[in-house]
Amino acid sequence: MKSNNFVSNFGSKVFSDDVMKAMLPDDTYNALINTVKSGKELDISVANTVANAMKDWALEKGATHYSHWFQPLTGITAEKHDSFLSSDKDGKPVIEFSGKCLIKGEPDASSFPSGGLRATFEARGYTAWDPTSYAFIKDNTLCIPTVFCSHGGEALDQKTPLLRSMELISEQALRVLKLFGKEATRVNTTVGAEQEYFLIDRELYNKRTDLLFCGRTLFGAKPPKGQELDDHYFGAIKPRIISFMKELDEELWSMGVFAKTEHNEAAPAQHELAPIYTMANIACDHNQLIMETMRNVAHRHGLVCLLHEKPFAGFNGSGKHNNWSLFTDTGFNLLNPGKSPAENTQFLLFLSAVIKSVDEYQSLLRIAVAGAGNDHRLGAAEAPPAIISIFLGDELTEIIESIINDTHYQKAQKTNLEIGVNALPNIPKETTDRNRTSPFAFTGNKFEFRMVGSSQSIAITNTMLNTIVADALKTFADHLEACPEEDFKKNVTALIKETLSKHKRILFNGDGYSEEWKKEAVSRGLLNLESTVDALPHFLDNENINLLAKYGILKESEIHSHYEIMMETYNKTVNIECMTMLDMIMKDILPSVSKYSTKLSEAIINKQKALPSLQCLFEKETLEKLSNLLDEIYMLYSELKNESENVPFGKSSLEIGIHMKEKILPLMSKLRKSVDEAQLYVSTDYWPYPNYTDLIYKI
């Protein structure tokens, strides 16, 4: 692709609205659009025509296969490729793609996690075309975005609940807007997910068992230079990385992803890509495509893309900032403070809905980002803490305080700030974006949720956000609809004031990393769910089950299944890390340290034989240090091995999780500390793995 025609190549691999308009007969196109709008089932004759056009278009673009592309509960995407090839009755090859194949697939799904929803004997789930998301070509395969369900209709994927939640919030937001006399037929959740990642050299990566199996280093002494100079953030990008980014952009653009901002991040070898925001379901698909394309393009450049939340101890981990807002189909951002008193009232009501819902359902947001990888990040004084709070910035906070206390707000008119009478001052974006320690920050016209882990799907996060805010909006709409119309202004004002007064404990503008905040948060009654094992059981709290089930976002059985899968994934992840650590210690680390120690002792013997007066200080002291460490490592190894054999497999996933968190992980930390110390005394020639200097700096 030439750089000057990149705009015309944008979306060249997408079966977009324009392509459909051009390729489909008018009545088919209209029938399809109506189906998308109404959410009803697609007529098979329409599907046949669409499938045929899709196939012709895909063949022209060089595709040979098609695949239903879906997002099972593993958090990544799944695809099964079928070629367009069929044989006719005479055994001759024909090219074929029917409406039936487009609408529905039945992958043998027994190996996808279902968390007990689907017994293996009834393994077949089915995939169903999601026509709200365009089909696209990836690696010569026509990918058809689909949802993935069990035959009983339960969601086995992350997309279905998200789509359900988008419907819900649209419905409730429209009710509120109607009270303000606003015309709109749809409210869309918009999302822009900023993706952080690391790039390292593939040859070095291949030499590290921990990276291969766990995606993160389990060992590694801190190199002499870390990120203390802050010289990587926004720094000049190395040529090898530039060529990676260029190819990544081009590939993403061709698939219709609005890749926009690319820069170096805080840690050396860490980078970020931010696309332009779009509708939540598309943003979710696109984020999956971004992660996958990053991995593939990196491979072609002799690199490996690490999406783990904490690949290197002592360096910043990677997250994914989920920017979230609500737009009417008439193009109005509901989180934009307005210019007139009426618009401001509406803004304050939507803002109150977010504040109320985040306070009431802190645990659901924490659960959405739970996972073994993200546990290393949250609360580690570099990412938002595990405590959920909202940052509004000074200006908006003052406004809210003046509303709650009926007091003077200086920057507005020199009168009490009266909702619906005074216009709010312009709230400049810059003053709202300064606090990077907040997990949930208002940034001028959207909220930025910063707790999502870099490898996680944004589907659950946005499902939860949409649902909890929709619930608050529903409460508001129920209340206001029941009040006499002439008292609307009075009632809205009272409602905003009451909501803000009741939920102000969730607002916090200070340093989220500080120890004082942890204490203060406890005294405010906020949750501090430090690890996945602390957070996940809250999924099964009555209030959470009731909320999700009430709106049909997740049925009770689906919640249990999500919970089981998340817990099991945590347990399996920690177990793999533990096994990898034991393996590396016994096969590589102990033998290497022992070999180097032997080398030192031989040197001492030989040197003193040659010249008995020699002190051999370096050899002797290092030998002593290393021999002690060798014993220490071996003892800790034995302890960890023992604990790994005591994991209560067969018991509940929570019991296993508690063992992982309380027994396995602390021992792994201790072991790492001793090994990292030993590394400082062993000659580089003898250390069995590329060190942090090689991995992070040699690109």
User: Shortest approach of Mg ion to residue 666 CB, angstroms?
Assistant: 34
Q: Helices (H), strands (E): how many in the chain?
A: 26, 18
Q: Which of 50, 274, 417, 623 binds ligand ADP (CB under 6 A)?
A: 274
Query: Toward ligand ADP, which CB reaches closer, 233 or 686?
Result: 233
**Which residue's Cβ lies closest to ligand ADP?**
192
469 binds ligand ADP (CB under 6 A): no
Which of ligand ADP, Mg ion, none sits in contact with 384, Cβ below 5 to 8 A by type? none
Which of ligand ADP, Mg ion, none sits in contact with 663, Cβ below 5 to 8 A by type? none
Q: Which of 575, 583, 568 is nearest to 654 (CA)?
A: 568
d(CA 288, CA 71): 9
Binding mask 385-414 for ligand ADP (x = CB under 6 A): ------------------------------
d(CA 335, CA 527): 26
Stretch of 35-43, 403-411, 443-451, 659-667 lying at the interface with ligand ADP (CB under 6 A): 443-451
SS3 content of the chain, % helix, strand, coil (to 5): 50, 15, 35
Q: Which of 110, 333, 557, 594 binds ligand ADP (CB under 6 A)?
A: 333
d(CA 553, CA 361): 15
Residues contacting 178, CB < 8 A, separation 6+: none
Binding mask 175-194 for ligand ADP (x = CB under 6 A): ---------------xxx-x
Which of Mg ion, ligand ADP, none sits in contact with 445, Cβ below 5 to 8 A by type? ligand ADP
d(CA 76, CA 113): 12
Q: Which of 105, 107, 275, 384 binds ligand ADP (CB under 6 A)?
A: 275
Q: Which of 208, 216, 446, 672 binds ligand ADP (CB under 6 A)?
A: 446
User: Shortest approach of ligand ADP to residue 525 CB, angstroms?
Assistant: 30
Stretch of 277-285, 317-325, 364-372, 682-690 lying at the interface with Mg ion (CB under 5 A): 317-325
445 binds ligand ADP (CB under 6 A): yes
Strand-pair category, 65-70 with 141-149: parallel
Query: Toward ligand ADP, which CB reaches closer, 127 or 190?
Result: 190
Query: Toward ligand ADP, which CB reaches closer, 258 or 634?
Result: 258
Residue 143 Cα distances to 64, 77, 286, 374, angstroms: 11, 11, 13, 30
Query: Toward ligand ADP, which CB reaches closer, 113 or 192?
Result: 192
Q: Which two tokens stand for residue 192?
A: 């822009």
> Exposed/middle/buried for 1, CB within 10 Å: 0-12, 13-18, 19+?
middle
Which of ligand ADP, Mg ion, none sits in contact with 192, Cβ below 5 to 8 A by type? ligand ADP
Binding mask 192-231 for ligand ADP (x = CB under 6 A): x-x-------------------------------------
> Exposed/middle/buried for 284, CB within 10 Å: 0-12, 13-18, 19+?
buried
How many chain residues interact with ligand ADP (CB under 6 A)?
16
User: Shortest approach of ligand ADP to residue 186 CB, angstroms?
Assistant: 16
Residues contacting 406, CB < 8 A, separation 6+: 416
64 binds ligand ADP (CB under 6 A): no
Which segments within 299-340 are labelled E, that is strand?
303-306, 320-328
Half-sphere exposure of 259 (CA within 13 A, CB side): 26
User: Shortest approach of ligand ADP to residue 191 CB, angstroms?
Assistant: 6
Q: Which of 93, 98, 126, 95 is nearest to 112 (CA)?
A: 126
Residues β-bridged to residue 78: 70
Stretch of 54-62, 87-95, 317-325, 466-474 lying at the interface with ligand ADP (CB under 6 A): 317-325
Residues contacting 659, CB < 8 A, separation 6+: 643, 646, 647, 648
Q: Which of 429, 471, 425 is nearest to 447 (CA)?
A: 429
DSSP label at residue 407: -
What does the binding site for ligand ADP look like in residue numbers (CB under 6 A)? 190-192, 194, 274-277, 323-325, 333, 433, 443, 445-446
What does the binding site for Mg ion look like in residue numbers (CB under 5 A)? 321
